[in-house]
Amino acid sequence: MPFIDQLHAAERLNDSLMCVGLDPDPAKFPSPWRGDASRIFDFCAAIVDATRDLVIAYKPQIAYFAAHRAEDQLERLMAHIRAVAPQVPVILDAKRGDIGATAEQYAREAFERYGADAVTLSPFMGFDSIEPYLRYPTKGAILLCRTSNPGGSDLQNQRLAEVEGQPRLYEHLARLAQGPWNTTGQLGLVVGATFPAEIGRVRELAPTVPLLIPGVGAQGGDATATVKAGYREHGGRITGLVVVNVGRSVLYAGSGPDFAEAARRAAMATRDELNAARR
């Protein structure tokens, strides 16, 4: 099933717009695992088992695994998600961006080694750095557009003097992702929850492209404002899907032996808040 179709199927099955970001930091693990990087898989698998019926997607961040030489644990985690939640797509948060020949290898890493359903990418080297990922017809490529960090404005919010209408860079990217770059229908965009006005602007320029929205929860983004700005439906059919990522507020909701149950309660509360905003 193509990635975009997977998202819609998971939304219907789990009645959810919430993605759980799997960013394992051993220093924050519950005792007695605290500080033990060998328990990364165990921690993340417990979170998955506790939330698999509440999410539209999972988003493991590759740096949190690679920094601890835990790529083998990431492979195990991807296999675990496929086994216990085969209906939930997995977005590998890698933010890759390189020339075509190297991009081919990164695409193999994401889709063949790890078996991800989609990957986050930096589009600032142009379309030829994106195209190798689109050779996998059932996979998704989610492009950084208007990110949640304050420094994103250094480039993304600047106007392009040589483009008609002098759009801001993030606006130009949104148009490309809706139009000429997206002939195969595999693209999504990353837009931060900390900029709800920009979410609305991206949705205006890219009305049907799925939006992956980080920044709700610990980063301060407002769940209701996020959904109202980016989610669209018409006649009972979703026309503009949002995938709202939460991480620390779910992963570290509890610090004791019941951490997975605490994560489930936090995830359920966020899922319900997002659903209330769209209804």
Q: What are the DSSP calls for 14-74, one per residue?
A: HT--EEEEE---GGGSPTTSTT-GGGHHHHHHHHHHHHTTT-SEEEEBHHHHHTTT-HHHH
HEC string for 139-175: CEEEEEEECCCHHHHHCCCCECCCCCCCCEHHHHHHH
Is the pLDDT at 218 greater than 80? The verdict is no
Is the pLDDT at 135 greater than 90? The verdict is yes
Q: Which of 28, 59, 95, 139 is catalytic?
A: 95
Catalytic (active site) residue 139: no
pLDDT band at 149 (very low <50, low <70, confident <90, very high): confident
Per-residue CA distances from 274 to 24, 26, 252 (Å): 24, 29, 20
Q: Identify the three-state secondary structure at position 135.
A: helix
The CA R_g of the chain, rounded to the nearest whole Å, is 18
List domains and CATH numbers for the chain.
3-278 (3.20.20.70)
Per-residue CA distances from 7 to 1, 125, 140 (Å): 10, 27, 10
How high does pLDDT run on average in the chain? 94
Q: Backbone phi, then psi, for 28, in 5-degree steps? A: -110, 5
Per-residue CA distances from 129 to 94, 113, 172, 189, 256 (Å): 14, 19, 17, 16, 44
Query: What average pLDDT does the segment 12-19 reach?
Result: 97
Contact between 193 and 216 (Cβ < 8 Å): yes
DSSP code, position 202: H
pLDDT tens for residues 42-62?
999 999 999 999 999 999 999
